[in-house]
């Protein structure tokens, strides 16, 4: 969460509310400009010679490619360090890893399991640390989500979004982002899969008023945007049978969309087609899933250039 800090210390991005509302809109505006520059074929090498160190405990497609491509387009360089390359949980204290990395790179992005690991990295780093995903939060995804919704709806005023599915890390960060942008958010989860109470409290402290329900039809009714994610995330494979039963009725299907008029459909990918969303829906004209995926690139470039100013 945003706190008063010494101006000599680096700014970190561990969750969406590490940005103020004004800063969030600054990053989104910059992302729009970078997207326009890409489409126009214009050079925007704003980080020449700078290096991003990328730490991956969890596998990734979009996160790795979007960050690596983004640094290249900004004139910099990215270094990939996978599970077998980093010392998380293998002897070296994480604070030592953080301090050493700070001597080599200009910014660190970490995609790990435990949220406390990115917090330790940030505590001991002399360069900005970006949360590329933890079990508790996925703020870079939320930046792309908000950019996509603003493009699709022309802004955030009077836009209603229904999150339907698991109250997971993506849902939690999106709830905070919705609060910062005054989106009208309804979160529908099965019983036992709700958002953390602390996340709802943070959203309300930011001026948001998310509605929670266990009824996916209630959430979908008259929504402008419907958003979902997988029911079985990485590391939850042994819960598959239980979760498939618990999430019955929460699939984003053509039948559910009948309650939502012309709602757009979002998914952060990868999608388990036939589970949380049907193939028909994700391939339909309502789907803005791949615009959303592209916007990871533009939003993260904006964030990196803003952090390194």
Whether 152 sits among the annotated catalytic residues: the reply is no
Active site residue 84: no
Residue 111 annotated in active site? yes
Q: Can you tell me the distance from the alpha carbon of 52 to that of 159, in angstroms, rounded to the nearest whole number? A: 35
Which pair of structure tokens corresponds to residue 272?
A: 């388990």
Query: Which listed residue (50, 64, 229, 251) is catalytic?
Result: 229
What is the distance between the alpha carbons of residues 2 and 18, in angstroms, rounded to a whole number? 4
Catalytic residue, chosen from 138, 243, 267, 286, is: 138
Is position 233 annotated in a ligand binding site? yes
Q: Which of 11, 12, 296, 298 is catalytic?
A: 296
Count of Cβ atoms closer than 10 Å to residue 291 Cβ? 15
**Which letter does DSSP use for residue 237 in this model?**
G
Q: Is 229 annotated as a binding residue?
A: yes
Q: Is 296 a catalytic residue?
A: yes
> Is 61 within any annotated ligand binding site?
yes
C-alpha–C-alpha distance, residues 254 and 230, integer Å? 18
Distance CA 57, CA 135 (A): 11
Q: What is the DSSP track for 75-113? A: T-EEEEE-TTTS-TTSSS-HHHHHHHHHHH-SEEEEE-S
- Catalytic-residue membership of 106: no
Is 138 marked as binding a ligand? yes
> Was 296 annotated as part of a binding site?
yes
**Which position among 50, 57, 73, 141 bears the catalytic label?**
141
The response to whether 269 counts as a known ligand-binding position is: yes
Single out the catalytic residue among 18, 184, 251, 268: 268
259 catalytically annotated: no
Q: Which residues are annotated as a binding site?
A: 60-63, 87, 111, 138-141, 169, 229, 233-234, 268-269, 296
Q: Which residues are annotated as a binding site for carbamoyl phosphate?
A: 60-63, 87, 111, 138-141, 268-269, 296
Catalytic residues: 111, 138, 141, 229, 268, 296
């Amino acid at each position: 969460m945003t706190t008063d800090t010494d101006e000599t210390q680096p700014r970190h991005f561990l969750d969406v509310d590490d940005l103020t509302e004004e800063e969030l809109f600054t990053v989104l505006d910059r992302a729009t400009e970078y997207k326009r520059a890409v489409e126009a074929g214009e050079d925007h090498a704003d980080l020449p010679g700078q290096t991003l160190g990328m730490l991956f405990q969890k596998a990734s497609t979009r996160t790795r490619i979007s960050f690596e491509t983004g640094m290249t387009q900004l004139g910099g360089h990215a270094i990939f360090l996978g599970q077998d390359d980093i010392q998380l949980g293998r002897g070296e204290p994480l604070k030592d890893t953080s301090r050493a990395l700070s001597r080599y790179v200009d910014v660190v992005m970490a995609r790990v399991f435990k949220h406390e690991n990115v917090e330790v990295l940030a505590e001991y780093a002399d360069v900005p640390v970006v949360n590329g995903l933890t079990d508790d939060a996925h703020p870079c995804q939320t930046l792309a989500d908000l950019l996509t919704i603003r493009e699709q709806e022309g802004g955030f005023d009077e836009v209603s979004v229904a999150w339907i599915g698991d109250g997971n890390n993506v849902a939690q960060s999106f709830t905070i982002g919705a609060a910062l942008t005054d989106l009208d958010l309804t979160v529908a989860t099965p019983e036992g899969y709700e958002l953390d109470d602390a996340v709802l409290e943070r959203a309300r402290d930011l001026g948001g008023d998310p509605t929670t329900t266990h009824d996916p039809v209630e959430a979908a009714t008259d929504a402008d945007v419907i958003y979902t994610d997988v029911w079985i995330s990485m590391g939850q494979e042994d819960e598959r049978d239980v979760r498939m039963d618990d999430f019955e009725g929460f699939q984003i299907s053509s039948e559910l969309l009948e309650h939502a008029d012309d709602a757009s459909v979002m998914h952060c990918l990868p999608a388990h087609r036939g589970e949380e969303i049907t193939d028909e829906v994700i391939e339909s004209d309502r789907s803005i899933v791949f615009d959303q995926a592209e916007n990871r690139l533009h939003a993260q470039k904006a964030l990196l250039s803003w952090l390194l100013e």
